[in-house]
Amino acid sequence: MATLTHDLYRYSHTIGFYAQNGRGFNNPVDVALGRDGVLYVLNRAGSDVELRMLYKRVTMCTLDEDYLGEFSSGGTEDGQLMWPATITIDAEGNVYISDEALHRISIFDAQGRFLGKWGVRGSGVGMFDRPAGLVFDQDQHLLVVDGLNNRIQRYTKDGRFLGEWGKGGHGPGELNLPWGIAVDRAGAVYVADWRNDRIQKFDAQGGFLASYGISGRGDGEFSRPSGVVVDGEGNIYVADWGNERVQVLSPDGGFLATYRGESGLSKWGESYFIANQDELEERRKANLEPELSLSPLDELREESASIEKFFWGPISVKVDDQGRLYVVESCRHRIQVYRKAPGSA
């Protein structure tokens, strides 16, 4: 399967390893790029039994897989997480996390100390029903994707309600279980309109500007897009979750490239095999990219479940100012990092 249409990005390396706690991830759903090269990786970690509450956490590490620590855990108390969905960071370096089970936003400082929270379940002002995507706009106000309420809400950093837009539907500007959200340098807002299989672009006030994509598997088409981010040139990166791929669109929404994933071993993975040479030996003898005969109905997902290098559950995308693309895979407990190809725009 082709993994790249335009030579925009090249695979760099992988960060990650399945871990119940400590060094590694557990069903990661998002990453935030903090100060001083710190990555904050948000682990949702099912199933939701008492035994696994400690698996839910934020892992702090670097791009080079230095493990720095972790904070929070599963639960309903202040500072705990149940269904954490997305994570973002404000200009001061504080960390904001949405929670789809507790219907609230929790705030931590850069070291993970709990600072505060707001939100209860509901559809009124200041209420959420499964809050998902988070992003700060140019005024350092927090935009919250209010999933089941099919709207975007805007708050000050301390949770004071400023406004909202959006309603349920499939027309222009309408939303159906939206998930990820991004802001570009001009202040425009992009929403992964998950169940409408499209990305919608709004102005900073929430006025509808454009819609990109339709349902499908072709170039520029989407199946349940979950994450979206925009780079400095205005290119749009989409975690095309249901198609198990990442797509890149030009600033005007034209298709540029698609990536299916090409992960190798992470440093943490390599260290596992140092201690498990017999398993490594079996891996070397095996064909890790077999030809598969799969039902068209679920072939992409099943292909991802069989071939380790492919994205499986690409749920969130982020870009940094060094031209790197980060793809978080919830089912493979890792982040694939890509770099801009030499000579690409």
Q: Provide the binding-site residues for another protein, judged by CB under 8 A.
A: 16-18, 27, 29, 44-49, 82-83, 100-101, 130, 177, 179, 194-195, 224, 226, 242, 263, 265-266, 268-269, 272-273, 276, 278-279, 282-283, 285-287, 290, 292-293, 302, 305-306, 308, 312-313, 315, 330-334
State the nearest-atom distance from the C-beta of 125 to another protein, in Å: 24
Which residue number, 74 or 166, has a Cβ lying nearer to another protein?
74
What is the smallest separation between the CB atom of 41 and another protein, expressed in angstroms?
Answer: 14
Judge contact between 335 and 16, C-beta under 8 A.
yes
Enter the tokens of residue 239. Answer: 């975690």
**Pick 334 or 340: Cβ nearer another protein:** 334
CB 36 within 8 A of CB 18: no
Residue 245 one-letter amino acid? R
| 342 burial type by CB count under 10 A (0-12 exposed, 13-18 middle, 19+ buried) | exposed
CB-side exposure of 317: number of CA atoms within 13 Å?
32
Looking at residue 83, the DSSP 8-state letter turns out to be S
Considering the complex, what minimum distance in angstroms separates the CB of residue 141 from another protein?
A: 27
The count of residues in the chain is 345
Nearest to 91 by CA among 132, 57, 58, 137: 137
Rank residues 250 and 271 by Cβ distance to another protein and give the closer one. Answer: 271
Helix, strand, or coil (residue 147): helix
What is Dmax (Cα atoms) for the chain?
59
Q: In whole angstroms, how close is the CB of 56 to another protein at the nearest point?
A: 11
* Closest to another protein by CB, 166 or 313: 313
Q: How many CA atoms lie within 13 A of 284 on its CB side?
A: 7
CA distance 131 to 293: 38
The set of residues, in sequence order, having a beta carbon less than 8 Å from that of 285 and lying 6+ positions away, is none
Please state whether beta strands 57-62 and 38-43 pair in parallel, antiparallel, or not at all (unpaired).
antiparallel
State which residue, 54 or 101, has the beta carbon closest to another protein.
101
Give the other-Cβ count within 10 Å of 293's Cβ.
Answer: 6
**Could you tell me the smallest distance in angstroms from the CB atom of residue 215 to another protein?**
12
Minimum CB distance to another protein smaller for 2 or for 47: 47
Q: How many Å apart are CA 343 and CA 339, to the nearest integer? A: 12
How far is residue 210's CA from residue 105's CA, in Å, rounded to a whole number? 28
- Smallest gap from Cβ 23 to another protein, in A, equals 12
CB of residue 104 to another protein, shortest distance in Å: 14
Q: How near is the Cβ of 130 to another protein at its closest, in Å? A: 8
Pick the closer one to another protein by CB: 208 or 273.
273
Q: Which is nearer to another protein, 40 or 155 (CB)?
A: 40
- The nearer residue to another protein, 332 or 340, going by C-beta atoms, is 332
Closest distance between another protein and the C-beta of residue 334, in Å? 6
Q: Which residue has the tokens 């994707």?
A: 145
